[in-house]
Amino acid sequence: MTLAPDVLALQLLTGLALGALYALLAIGLSLIFGMLTVVNFAHGAFFMVGAYVGFFLYGLTGSFWASLVGAPLAVGAVGLVVERFLVRPLYGRGLDYPLLLTFGLAYVLVEIVRILFGKQGLPFDTPEALSGAVDVWVGYFPLYRLFVIGAAAAATLAVWLFIDKTSYGLIIRAGARDPVIVRILGIDIARVWLAIFGIGAALAGFAGVLAAPLQGVAPEMGDTVLAEAFVVTVIGGMGSLLGAVVAGLLVGVTISMTSLFAPEMARVCVFALMALVLLVRPQGMFGRAGLLS
């Protein structure tokens, strides 16, 4: 099957929009794992909660921008509570303890949403200001998907500047490498861990509210995206922010382009890509060896 170059280009842009959401999710996962060594299985549930909080705020205020700001703040606050009262007592007990805790927490959050909003999915209207399509030289492309790419890029840049260019970011990186020395210097490392978990959860909530106009909201919407976010994180390298971005875009484009030729193989190709990367480089494209040891 031969496709015109403009169709391929538009499908590539669609893949980039999807990949931008995966990158946001994977950045949150990588932050929490890379800094706290916590495998957060509630990340997909945070994504779902962000979509529902955005849906609620959109209906309450009539403003998509209020939901776009309020949803990640609300999910970030949930993340702060989870880290402080649930995850923190499990530090130092091994990877499996917080993993099992967050796995169970995901089910709790899904059931709470079902009780509050019902089991059926709900539509989330695209904001009027971002509806329609724009000419991108190779054809007309949905304006909202371009907005998703730009919003994800802005959030990624903000996280990178915070982690890499601020004094608090320096403390975070130092705490991830040697928390004992950070404590000796008089810095409360617990606050650093709290902030990291909150930021990671907020990024998942931000991705959720961005995804809502594309797919609606449903209690199970976090299940599939969690598996794909972990695939992205593994491909990019556990704990690597650059890897999360590159792998997120790569996976999004892979799914999008494969869907053109063999839609039933789109998801399979993602896992095949992960297997190929791990065969060549077990720690992922940008990960460092020994992070799990």
pLDDT in tens, 160-189: 999 888 888 888 777 767 777 778 878 888
Give the pLDDT score at 2: 56
- State residue 282 phi and psi, 5-degree precision: -55, -30
Give the pLDDT score at 291: 54
**Spans of all domains in the chain:** 5-119+141-280
Mean pLDDT, rounded, for 271-285: 92
Give the pLDDT score at 83: 96
Percent of all residues in the chain with a pLDDT value above 90, rounded to a whole number? 69
- Is a pLDDT exceeding 60 seen at residue 91? yes
Give the pLDDT score at 182: 78
- Is a pLDDT exceeding 60 seen at residue 122? yes
Cβ distance 193 to 175 under 8 Å? yes
- Is a pLDDT exceeding 80 seen at residue 269? yes
Mean pLDDT, rounded, for 73-85: 97
Give the pLDDT score at 265: 87
Give the pLDDT score at 290: 54
CATH architecture label of 5-119+141-280: Orthogonal Bundle (1.10)
Enclosing H/E stretch for 186: none
Percent of all residues in the chain with a pLDDT value above 70, rounded to a whole number? 96
**Which position has the higher pLDDT, 107 or 238?**
107
Beta strands in 31-94 (DSSP E): none
Half-sphere exposure of 241 (CA within 13 A, CB side): 18
Give the pLDDT score at 289: 63
- Is a pLDDT exceeding 60 seen at residue 1? no
Query: 147-152 contacts: CB < 8 A, separation 24 or more?
Result: 148/17, 148/20, 148/21, 148/210, 148/211, 148/214, 149/13, 149/16, 149/17, 149/20, 151/20, 151/68, 151/206, 151/210, 152/20, 152/21, 152/23, 152/24, 152/207, 152/210
pLDDT confidence tier of residue 287, bands split at 50, 70 and 90: confident
Instruction: State the average pLDDT for the chain.
Output: 90
**Which position has the higher pLDDT, 165 or 250?**
250
- State residue 94 phi and psi, 5-degree precision: 105, 160
pLDDT confidence tier of residue 246, bands split at 50, 70 and 90: very high
Mean pLDDT, rounded, for 190-194: 88
